[in-house]
């Protein structure tokens, strides 16, 4: 047993006991005993499979009546919500224990550990400062529907974790402990009595509110603290250097801006999103300013404030404040200034008295800070105002940069209609790529507008025009950082980006003046998603970089190009191993090509929360990128259950972000250091993974596209049909609702496989790829071991495969064959999956040298083992319920509710959906 997990086991036992008491109180001894009996059977089967116990378990589950069955499902689901809260608290506990230890013991993957390592490796201050200057990590929250847990449940988890944290206090009296345990019991009782399913699908603005919750609760405080920690650690280990720590860590958002396949995201919704973001950040500033006003009671009878501050009061106090709103004590100069600033913050967006831009607010804060430095002891800083300055630099008046995304086909349809109206071409969509590019370039080089304002366009084209007009208005109202990137989904050719520039031109965001001067205020970024698009990506971008019209746009944008890489569709298209290699390879090729054109890049990694969509620990995701691209800047999506697991609690948010910062800092410093550049990777490794990928792709596509019965198996052997009734997102499950594989979104594709415990998208075909390569020679196998030891990309790939196989469960997955009508299809395809699972497991263990999966990460392994006996009954129940529901063509509302409860419970248990 891992001794460090003893406090966690104690917490889980305490919470489990409380849940047991609540079960007895709610459903009597019968409910409690039924849950215990099923739990013990599953636990025994996990220790050693016994056919007799297995049959008895199946009979026990089949014999449950509807009211009792529903309560049993809820009992196991609630247990996972409690475990999740306990594990969250345990992460906080472990971090705190490190901080309480001797100063010589530094927590691994902390900011201090990174800077200490740089010091030990004799990386000089100039290299580190250069690395800091290029460092850029932007995390973008999205509303992709993968969080099955309701906000109310997450709030309760948060309160439970806080109470567990308080119970750890070493100086608690018996009375205080009893009181905390009583509060904890009450929260568990409330959890049991809270409905875990949403009544309705959330609207886009509901999703906006949920996203803003993380900024309000944790991110507004944590982001400046991460920057401060970097500064303090640098000063500790490199005390002779004056450090400048730029704002390298930011958060952006897609929520309210991502209209790809979501007709509910209109231009009005996006505008309301920006309004809500501004309201929140202004509220946060006002709260800090009121606190500063209380604290900064300095009197000009005691200190000398700056002449600049006194001049500011003379010139502006009467201008912005009525007598009633002025601070009444003339000698308390700082409070007088804060009264003025607070009033101007209140008036932002409401009247001319408000700040017109965040830079004006920032200038006033710097003025106060400079004045404070004149009389405050030099060796000590007033941290609150320093933190506020950093917050304004990070969040401005817009809070988070909102990306706009839409499908390339939508832009093409709008351009086709617009060009037909002005008689440039009858059917633009049918033209060759060369013809399209020629027309688009001519339009971009012509200062005259294209739109016929009085002409009637279709509703879709009108909405497209209004979106770009809204972006123009947002730049004027909220600042250009409010919307800075427009993402083009399914980019397949250069014209896909030029079309967006043409639409931007018609709104005045891109503007060619009569004298030849050019304005451009919107980055246009391709989203490369499928295997084919990733391969074509370098050629698409080089064609654009060669175009004078596009190069002129880039020059205005600082010769900077953002490129988004989609992990979901590539994985769905070609399997996880091939997709990850193609993504890695595309980055190298595009980076090298852009360097020739002296174009700076930022890669935007569209990772999902689940392993089948590029998920995994944030720091490992960063480390697995090609080393030379780290200096370009890193941008990553954060979505669904990842948001709550990383950013619900302030301590865990801090830990997640410091791990990412630590990794990024080390990688950037090593790349900046000429001596380290030769150790990025070896050509022989690239040749090996290319061959492995080829084997894996063939195997994957042979099943997914080559087997005519595969789609039938997927539709029937997973709860795909039932997922649409789980109200977790505003966006439809498929793009066109035609039931075709290519129209199915990657999220339900992964979600459905996860529920059935097959997790096929996260590992399938990797075993064939690795084993086929290793079987060729002993030298090949030894090379794989070397790649695992020395190449972060390969190590991350192998570790994620370990995790996927550990979370998959073939014994449980076999239960889902009962849902497939044609038993021959079920058994044949499952035999293929089982064979590949065993092959993958065997080669992974050989490469890592482990005896069992996840031996190298015991904490995660313990967590999976702890959860499995409680997930199993939910899977067994789900299969029985879906079978009965489908017999009734989904018409039984009560059965459907029970199915959805199992889906929610399994999601909480595995901590992965899509």
Pinpoint the alpha helices (H) of 326-379: 333-346, 358-373
Distances (CA, A) of 459 to 263, 266, 496: 12, 12, 21
Closest by CA to 560, choosing from 505, 597, 508, is: 597
CA-nearest of 745, 778, 777 to 761 is 745
State phi, psi for 898 to the nearest 5 degrees: -65, -40
The candidate with the shortest Cα–Cα distance to 728, out of 637, 608, 641, 649, is: 641
Distance CA 141, CA 402 (A): 10
Q: Please tell me the distance from the alpha carbon of residue 906 to that of residue 873, in angstroms, as a whole number.
A: 10
Strands (E), 535-631: 560-566, 600-606
Are the beta carbons of 396 and 479 closer than 8 angstroms? yes
The helix (H) or strand (E) run that includes residue 407 is: strand 404-407
- State how far the Cα of 115 lies from the Cα of 126, in Å rounded to an integer: 14
Are residues 297 and 327 in contact, defined by beta-carbon separation less than 8 angstroms? Answer: no
Tokens 């995390």 correspond to 139
Q: Is 572 a catalytic residue?
A: yes
138 forms bridges with which residues in the sheet?
A: 250, 635
CA distance 331 to 304: 11
Q: Is 37 a catalytic site residue?
A: no
Length, in residues, of the chain: 914
CA distance 890 to 720: 13
Pick from 79, 84, 94, 66: nearest CA to 32: 79
Partner residues linked to 566 by β-bridges: 606
| Cβ contact 720:714 at 8 Å | yes
Of 84, 4, 228, residue with least CA distance to 648: 84
* DSSP per-residue letters across 150-170: -HHHHHHHHHHHHHHHHHT-T
> Beta 523-528 vs 518-520: how paired, if at all?
unpaired
What CA–CA distance (Å, rounded) separates 879 from 318?
73
Show the tokens assigned to 377. 């002891």
Q: CB–CB of 386/347 below 8 Å?
A: no
Catalytic residue among 34, 144, 699, 841: 144
Q: 252 near 633, Cβ under 8 Å?
A: no
By C-alpha distance, which of 685, 723, 671 is closest to 585?
685
Look up residue 383 and give its two tokens. Answer: 């941290």
CA 505 to chain centre: 32
Q: Check if the beta carbon of residue 621 is closer than 8 Å to that of residue 591.
A: no
Q: Which residue among the candidates 90, 472, 572, 807 is catalytic per the annotation?
A: 572
Sequential DSSP letters for 504-524: HHHHTSEEE-TTS-EEE--EE
Please give the positions annotated as active site.
144, 572
């Amino acid at each position: 047993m891992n001794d460090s997990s003893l406090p966690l086991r104690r917490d889980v036992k305490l919470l489990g006991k409380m849940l047991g008491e609540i079960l007895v109180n709610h459903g009597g001894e019968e409910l409690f005993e039924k849950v215990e009996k099923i739990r013990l059977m599953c636990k025994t089967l996990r220790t050693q499979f016994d056919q007799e116990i297995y049959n008895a378990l199946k009979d026990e589950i089949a014999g449950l009546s509807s009211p009792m069955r529903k309560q049993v499902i809820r009992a196991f689901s609630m247990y996972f919500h409690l475990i999740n809260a306990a594990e969250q608290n345990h992460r906080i506990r472990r971090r705190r224990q490190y901080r309480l230890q001797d100063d010589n013991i530094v927590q691994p993957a902390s900011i201090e550990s990174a800077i200490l390592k740089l010091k030990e490796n004799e990386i000089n201050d100039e290299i580190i400062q250069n690395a800091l200057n290029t460092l850029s990590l932007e995390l973008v929250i999205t509303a992709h529907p993968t969080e099955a847990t309701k906000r109310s449940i997450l709030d309760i988890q948060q309160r439970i974790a806080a109470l567990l944290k308080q119970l750890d206090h070493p100086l608690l009296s018996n009375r205080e402990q009893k009181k905390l345990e009583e509060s904890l019991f009450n929260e568990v009782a409330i959890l049991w009595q809270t409905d875990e399913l949403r009544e309705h699908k959330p609207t886009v603005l509901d999703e906006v509110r949920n996203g803003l919750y993380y900024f309000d609760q944790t991110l507004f405080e944590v982001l400046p603290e991460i920057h401060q920690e970097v500064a303090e650690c640098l000063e500790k280990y490199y005390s002779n250097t004056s450090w400048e720590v730029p704002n390298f860590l930011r958060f952006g958002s897609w929520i309210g801006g991502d209209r790809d396949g979501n007709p509910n995201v209109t231009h009005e919704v996006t505008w309301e999103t920006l309004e809500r973001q501004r309201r929140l950040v202004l509220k946060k500033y006002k709260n800090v300013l009121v606190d500063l006003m209380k604290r900064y009671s300095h009197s000009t009878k005691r200190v000398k404030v700056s002449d600049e501050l006194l001049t500011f009061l003379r010139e502006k106090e009467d201008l912005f404040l009525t007598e009633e709103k002025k601070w009444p004590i003339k000698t308390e100069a700082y409070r007088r200034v804060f009264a003025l600033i607070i009033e101007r913050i209140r008036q932002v967006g409401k009247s001319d008295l408000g700040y017109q831009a965040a830079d004006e607010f920032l200038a006033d804060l710097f003025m106060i800070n400079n004045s404070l430095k004149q009389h405050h002891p030099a060796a000590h800083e007033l941290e609150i105002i320093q933190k506020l300055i950093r917050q304004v630099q990070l969040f401005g008046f817009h809070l988070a940069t909102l990306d706009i995304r839409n499908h390339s086909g939508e832009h093409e349809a709008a351009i086709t209609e617009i060009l037909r109206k002005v008689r440039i071409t009858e059917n633009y969509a049918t033209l060759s790529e060369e013809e399209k590019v020629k027309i688009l370039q001519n339009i971009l080089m012509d200062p005259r507008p294209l739109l016929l304002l009085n002409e009637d366009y279709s509703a879709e084209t009108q909405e497209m025009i209004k979106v770009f007009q809204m972006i123009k208005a947002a730049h004027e109202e909220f600042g250009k950082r409010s919307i800075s990137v427009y993402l083009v989904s399914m980019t397949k050719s250069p014209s896909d980006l030029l079309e967006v520039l043409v639409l931007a031109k018609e709104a005045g965001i891109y503007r060619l003046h009569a004298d030849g001067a050019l304005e451009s205020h919107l980055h246009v970024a391709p989203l490369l998603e499928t295997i084919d698009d990733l391969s074509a990506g370098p050629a698409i971008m080089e064609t654009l970089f060669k175009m004078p019209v596009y190069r002129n746009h880039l020059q205005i944008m600082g010769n900077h190009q953002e490129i988004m890489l989609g992990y979901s569709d590539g994985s769905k298209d070609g399997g996880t191993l091939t997709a990850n290699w193609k993504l890695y390879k595309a980055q190298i090729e595009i980076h090298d090509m852009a360097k020739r054109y002296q174009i700076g890049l930022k890669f935007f990694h569209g990772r999902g929360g689940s392993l089948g969509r590029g998920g995994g620990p944030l720091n490992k995701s960063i480390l697995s990128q090609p080393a030379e691209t780290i200096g370009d800047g890193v941008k990553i999506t954060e979505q669904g259950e990842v948001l709550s697991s990383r950013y619900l609690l302030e301590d865990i948010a801090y830990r997640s972000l410091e791990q990412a910062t630590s990794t990024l800092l080390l990688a950037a410093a090593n790349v900046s250091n000429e001596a380290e550049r030769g150790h990025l990777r070896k050509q022989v490794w690239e040749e090996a993974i290319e061959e492995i990928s080829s084997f894996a792709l063939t195997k994957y596509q042979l099943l997914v596209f080559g087997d005519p019965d595969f789609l039938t198996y997927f539709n029937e052997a997973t709860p795909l049909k039932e997922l649409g009734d789980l109200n977790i997102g505003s966006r439809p499950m498929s793009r066109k609702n035609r039931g075709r594989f290519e129209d199915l979104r990657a999220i339900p594709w992964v979600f459905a496989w996860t529920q059935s415990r097959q997790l096929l998208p996260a590992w399938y075909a990797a075993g064939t790829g690795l084993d086929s390569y290793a079987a060729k020679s002993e030298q090949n196998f030894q090379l794989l071991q070397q790649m695992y030891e020395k190449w972060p990309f390969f190590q991350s790939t192998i570790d994620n495969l370990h995790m996927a196989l550990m979370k998959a469960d073939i014994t449980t997955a076999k239960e889902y064959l009962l849902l497939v009508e044609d038993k021959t299809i079920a058994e044949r395809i499952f035999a293929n999956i089982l064979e590949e699972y065993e092959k993958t497991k065997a080669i992974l263990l050989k490469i890592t040298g482990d005896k069992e999966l996840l031996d190298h990460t015991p904490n995660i392994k313990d967590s999976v083992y702890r959860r499995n006996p409680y997930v199993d009954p939910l899977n067994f129940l789900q299969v029985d319920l879906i079978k009965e529901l489908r017999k009734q063509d989904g018409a039984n509302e009560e059965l459907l509710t029970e199915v959805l409860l199992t889906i929610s419970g399994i999601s909480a248990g595995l901590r992965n959906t899509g």
